Structure 1
């Protein structure tokens, strides 16, 4: 699909947003809080914006996942059962969104952005210690992961943050472990959703490829900084990112 309104200025804007989103998404999740509103602000219809967003975000999530696995920040045995669960949930969610009035996204996205920003703002400072799990591994795999995957298929922004929060609060993972695992799950949900959007013809390739290059750069930079930045700073990044994009989105 083509986008007649794509100018050099818009392309540079989306490329820059993708770099920042890829960097922040690798660090703290929630890169979609930047890229999806940015796509919609250029005049792209909501459903097509969702599909194009999945195309470009696959590169960022994929790059981050490969880096996490190569550096052994996450082991394959930790995610080999979770990734299919996330894939299935996202597939179902993306199919559902094809039949929903996408104009509602104009109101839903600011609500989601606000919720995530407030959550990170008021929750206690995270620490590096593992805590006891509140749900079993099987329940987490069969219920929690597919539900978050379904959300990613329906909407998307903040999915990485949700996976991180779930791993942290429900499975007792330390913050960096939860963040690393979230990258692989987010990659799985992005791929599943992208496949459905491709079949539906809801992707603008030129825009997606432009942002893919930005995501690649941002994710590569972020993967080299993730374990060097103090944990508390990651929390503040998410808060600033959420409210900054909320203000931009509401005034666009």
Structure 2
């Protein structure tokens, strides 16, 4: 594991701290924080590998912060999530290890279509969710082996839209409310982030000081975002998820 060090101005650190704070707030509510932080890291002079690895470090702080807030507030009970957490970690580690060997080009072409479908689902959610949940229902074990493993693998391999995919899966297949789905999503997203980070740690591409500074910004931003979710609920989450899904789709299509 090599230590990557950059001679970056203190003002760049300050600016990236606030960028991470904003991204953490948005990510806690609807996901898609990487849409903000990755381009900024690239603009700061990091290589693509360094930007992705460092982004995973700072995003871990945000998802862990949001998860802690939801567990503390009673929205999530960790003792019921141990198996989904395990399967998500297995999926994320597998995806991260295989990222250099699999051609993700085809998957990247499909992701915008899926994200647009998720945005449409959230737009019509009050009518669609009761119908879908009554037709398709998974046990916690089945959910862990399908959604947990599959979406965790996707997050390790590519990543954009992971939060929206987890939330949609919880609402469609487990019948969760939008707030409960978002809360549980953050725990599994934190799991996949931490699992991927464990692999990235040995890559030598993480800019540690920068990632830690941004991680602090993410932590406080996610705390604000999770507080807003509990107080505003679906009225805040739905439009934010729709906006972020469409924004990620546009970004991927442009790339």
What TM-score, normalized to structure 1?
0.84
SS at match of 2:8: coil
The answer (yes or no) to whether the contact 2:118–2:164 under 8 Å persists in 1 is no
**Counterpart in 1 of 2:219?**
216
**Counterpart in 2 of 1:200?**
203
Paired with 1:19 and 1:192, the residues of 2 have a C-alpha distance of 22
Over residues 220-252 of structure 1, what are the superposed CA-to-partner deviations in whole Å (9 max), with x where a residue is unaligned?
A: 111211122241432222333455567788999
Q: How does 1:36-115 map to 2 (within 5 A)?
A: 36-99=38-101, 108=108, 112=111, 114-115=112-113
The answer (yes or no) to whether the contact 1:160–1:183 under 8 Å persists in 2 is yes
Distance change in 2, residues 1:41/1:249 (3 Å):
farther
Distance change in 2, residues 1:97/1:215 (3 Å):
same
Superposed CA RMSD: 3.1
**Counterpart in 2 of 1:118?**
116
Q: How does 1:164-175 map to 2 (within 5 A)?
A: 164-175=167-178
Q: Is residue 227 of structure 1 aligned with residue 225 of structure 2?
A: no
TM-superposed CA distance for 1:216, in Å, is 1.2
**Counterpart in 1 of 2:179?**
176
Paired with 1:119 and 1:186, the residues of 2 have a C-alpha distance of 20
What TM-score, normalized to structure 2?
0.83
Paired with 1:96 and 1:85, the residues of 2 have a C-alpha distance of 17
Paired with 1:251 and 1:153, the residues of 2 have a C-alpha distance of 22
Q: Is residue 135 of structure 1 aligned with residue 138 of structure 2?
A: yes
Paired with 1:229 and 1:177, the residues of 2 have a C-alpha distance of 13
Which range moves more in the overlay, 24-33 or 8-17? 8-17
Distance change in 2, residues 1:163/1:251 (3 Å):
closer
The answer (yes or no) to whether the contact 1:160–1:186 under 8 Å persists in 2 is yes
Over residues 140-164 of structure 1, what are the superposed CA-to-partner deviations in whole Å (9 max), with x where a residue is unaligned?
A: 2112211100111112222111111
The answer (yes or no) to whether the contact 1:68–1:74 under 8 Å persists in 2 is yes
The answer (yes or no) to whether the contact 1:127–1:174 under 8 Å persists in 2 is no
TM-superposed CA distance for 1:201, in Å, is 1.4
Over residues 202-226 of structure 1, what are the superposed CA-to-partner deviations in whole Å (9 max), with x where a residue is unaligned?
A: 2111220121111011011112111
Paired with 1:111 and 1:12, the residues of 2 have a C-alpha distance of 36
The answer (yes or no) to whether the contact 1:134–1:171 under 8 Å persists in 2 is yes
The answer (yes or no) to whether the contact 2:83–2:141 under 8 Å persists in 1 is no
Which range moves more in the overlay, 124-133 or 189-198? 124-133
